[in-house]
């Protein structure tokens, strides 16, 4: 990236991706000033910032027109910099310009982290050097200079807002349901942000679309790349689909490949969709899907994403704290054949619960509600699903244990943000798991 040498660059925000971007740019000869409106005491790992990076902390952002480039952290809304900047690149754009390996990029409202991690596991099982980074935790720029056959990126709508030439060799769109409307302003704007994954693709690239999702299916015209469809209901001409417990991969004129899912350790129908998407991405990348399939026997998923915690008195406890919007919770609730004691609630995102409630009917025995959204959820569920309320996540687990019957699942799938009672969804999930472990130590419900 010789073009940035001697540029004056403003990095906005010193979270994980901001520090990564500032260090990357300084190491390549740019004049970097990092801005964060928090004071130094509130910023984690500030000592890891390159000594060549100037810093301005605890004061408002400056006039950004004086900089050649602005690199905002994903959490900073575009209205704070877009109209006051000469050029804007986020860390995904920077990584794209610097990573030598082909890129598989995954976006969608729900299931991104699981699918990205599964793609990484599949590629490695096939003997391919791959690493997954991006929105799931480690910054994309950490891959620069690493010897890889594929870079696998989880990309959020926030990150896609700050791309310019980003062009994944394989792009994957899992699903789209309302989320982050407070940031994007409208559902159409949110969808448009997702479309940015495909707008720069060429005929030699591949685009993997969930054809079971009508909003995603309508996006197939946004790319010039070859379209690989995937679905769990019905066949596709090119791509992957589910048939009698097996994934069928089609890419004419090659003969179809059939791979059994008998050894899959992930639970839930929504995870079945993630597996089909991962197979489609691997096949689109030209990697042997049969060799990749051995990953299914050992891949158990990620923390707080339909994570099995324990079985107590014939009742399974599952942590899906990452389900921070109604669409994610819907997929989780619908994914279990057993009756559910469903723990839900938190900070309402203003997205509406009607479709989620429709799904809960018939699946949920009792909903145990927590947090600020209790009254809104209670009103939405009234007359359709039995409701109990709890003062804390520990109280919710205790009540759920008393309400559950043998064969049931106690599912934490909040459909809401966590910030009313917890620092983040991870803390919420950890508290749920700790309460379940304590319940198990006591010998079950009392």
Of the candidates 23, 135, 175, 325, the residue annotated as catalytic is 135
Give the pLDDT confidence score for residue 89 in this predicted structure: 97
CATH code at position 313: 3.90.190.20
pLDDT above 90 for 31: yes
Same domain, 293 and 344: no
Q: What is the pLDDT of residue 306?
A: 87
**Mean predicted confidence (pLDDT) in 18-32:** 97
Which pLDDT belongs to residue 414?
Answer: 98
Catalytic residue among 23, 110, 112, 349: 112
Asked whether the predicted pLDDT for residue 173 surpasses 70, the reply is: yes
pLDDT at 181 over 80: no
Q: Which of 88, 116, 135 is the last residue of a domain?
A: 88
In a domain, 302, yes or no: no
* Residue numbers of the domain that contains 56: 7-88
In this prediction, residues 361-378 reach a mean pLDDT of 97
pLDDT of residue 446: 65
Q: Is residue 404 pLDDT above 90, yes or no?
A: yes
Question: What CATH number does residue 14 fall under?
Answer: 3.40.50.720
402 in catalytic set: no
Residue 2 covered by a domain? no
Query: Per the structure, how many domains does the chain have?
Result: 3
Which CATH number goes with the domain that contains 118? 3.40.1190.10
Q: pLDDT (tens digit, 9 = 90+) per residue, 288-343? A: 999 999 999 999 877 898 888 999 999 999 999 999 999 889 989 998 989 999 99
Q: Write down the pLDDT at residue 3.
A: 82
Residue after which a domain boundary falls, among 88, 106, 137: 88
> In this structure, are 364 and 404 located in the same domain?
yes
Could you tell me if 374 and 323 lie in one domain?
yes
Compute the average pLDDT of residues 272-298. 95
Res. 266: pLDDT tops 90 = no
User: Is 135 noted as a catalytic residue in this protein?
Assistant: yes
Residues 23, 110, 175, 180: which is the catalytic one?
A: 180
Residues 430 and 393 in one domain: yes
**Catalytic annotation present for 270:** no
Q: Domain check: are 101 and 166 in the same one? A: yes
Nearest to 331 by CA among 182, 136, 160, 112: 112
Tokens for 248, please give them. Answer: 């069928």
Q: Which of 75-84, 181-190, 275-284, 303-312 has the highest mean pLDDT?
A: 275-284
Per-residue confidence band for 1, with pLDDT thresholds at 50, 70 and 90: low
pLDDT value at position 130? 98
- Name the domain boundary from 297, 332, 365: 297
């Amino acid at each position: 990236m010789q073009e940035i040498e001697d540029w004056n660059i403003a990095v906005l925000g010193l979270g994980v991706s901001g520090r990564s971007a500032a260090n990357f740019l300084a190491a390549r000869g740019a004049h970097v000033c990092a801005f964060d409106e928090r004071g130094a005491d509130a910023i984690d790992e500030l000592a890891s910032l390159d000594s060549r990076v100037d810093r301005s902390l605890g004061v408002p952002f400056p006039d950004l027109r004086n900089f050649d480039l602005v690199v905002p952290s994903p959490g900073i809304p575009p209205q704070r910099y877009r109209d006051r900047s000469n050029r804007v690149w986020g860390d995904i754009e920077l990584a794209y310009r610097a990573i030598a390996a082909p890129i598989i990029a995954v976006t969608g409202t729900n299931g991104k982290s699981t699918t990205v991690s599964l793609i990484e596991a599949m590629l490695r099982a096939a003997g391919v050097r791959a690493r997954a980074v991006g929105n799931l935790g480690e910054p994309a720029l950490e891959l620069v200079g690493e010897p890889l056959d594929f870079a696998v990126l989880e990309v959020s709508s926030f990150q896609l807002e700050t791309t310019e030439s980003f062009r994944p060799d394989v792009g994957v769109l899992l699903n789209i349901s309302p989320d982050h409307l407070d940031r994007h302003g409208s559902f159409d704007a949110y969808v448009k942000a997702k479309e940015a994954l495909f707008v720069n693709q060429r005929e030699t690239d591949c685009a993997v679309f969930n054809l079971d999702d009508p909003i995603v299916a309508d996006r197939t015209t946004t790319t010039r790349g070859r379209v690989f469809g995937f679905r769990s209901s019905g066949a596709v001409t090119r791509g992957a689909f589910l048939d009698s417990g097996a994934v069928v991969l089609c890419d004419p004129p090659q003969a179809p490949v059939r791979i059994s899912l008998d050894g899959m350790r992930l639970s839930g129908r929504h995870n079945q969709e993630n597996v089909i998407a991962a197979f489609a991405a691997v096949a689109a990348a030209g990697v042997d899907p049969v060799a990749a399939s051995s990953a299914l026997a050992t891949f158990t998923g990620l923390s707080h994403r339909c994570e099995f915690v324990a079985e107590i008195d014939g009742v399974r406890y599952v942590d899906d704290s990452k389900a921070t919007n109604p669409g994610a919770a819907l997929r989780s609730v619908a994914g279990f054949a057993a009756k559910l004691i469903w723990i839900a609630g938190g900070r309402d995102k203003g997205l509406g619960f009607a479709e989620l409630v429709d799904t809960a009917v018939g699946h949920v025995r009792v909903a145990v509600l927590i947090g600020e959204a209790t009254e809104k959820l209670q009103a939405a569920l009234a007359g359709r699903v039995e409701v109990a309320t709890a003062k804390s996540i520990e109280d919710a687990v205790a009540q759920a244990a008393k309400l559950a019957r043998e064969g049931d699942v106690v599912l934490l799938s909040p459909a809401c943000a966590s910030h009313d009672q917890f620092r983040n969804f991870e803390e919420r999930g950890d508290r749920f798991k700790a309460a379940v472990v304590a319940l198990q130590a006591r010998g079950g419900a009392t």
